[in-house]
Amino acid sequence: MNLEEKAETLLHTYNLKATKPRIKILCYLMNHHNHPTVEMIYHALDEKINRATVYNTLNALAKVGIIIEIKNGDNSTHYDYFVKPHFHIICKNCGKIADVIYPNFDQIENEMRKSAEEQTNFIASASHLEIYGLCPECQIKVKK
């Protein structure tokens, strides 16, 4: 199954219409792990997909949990296709986002959600862990 077929199947799994723009946007996210913004996706696709379609598609994909939104220090929203359970570390200075793969993260995250539900009587629907710090490039800048 190629990437477009996988994207189309995934959209149908979540009862979303598999339009050509949605497939292209989802394929981009499945193929790039650069935590893009709307503008990055819009310019990368360089096709006749307008910004509103990119925004609406990302909102629909995030709403059903295919992708996640990441807010970072520069007040921009980035997007991530969440194929492998992981968390993010975000530079407080430049906003760079990096994936962190951690053994048994999905199990730990489930335990955290369960504990949150028990302590608050909320029903958890999603979670996202972020750690903040300084990336290597900003560490060098700070030392100068």
Positions in the chain whose pLDDT score sits under 50: none
pLDDT value, residue 106: 85
* Span 1-15, pLDDT tens digits: 899 999 999 999 999
Q: Give residue 73's pLDDT.
A: 65
What pLDDT does 65 receive?
86
Retrieve residue 18's tokens. 């598999």
Pairing label, strands 67-71, 77-81: antiparallel
* Torsion sign over Cα 82, 84, 85, 87: negative
The pLDDT tens digits of the residues spanning 104-129 come to 888 998 899 999 999 999 998 878 88
- According to the model, what pLDDT value does residue 18 have? 95
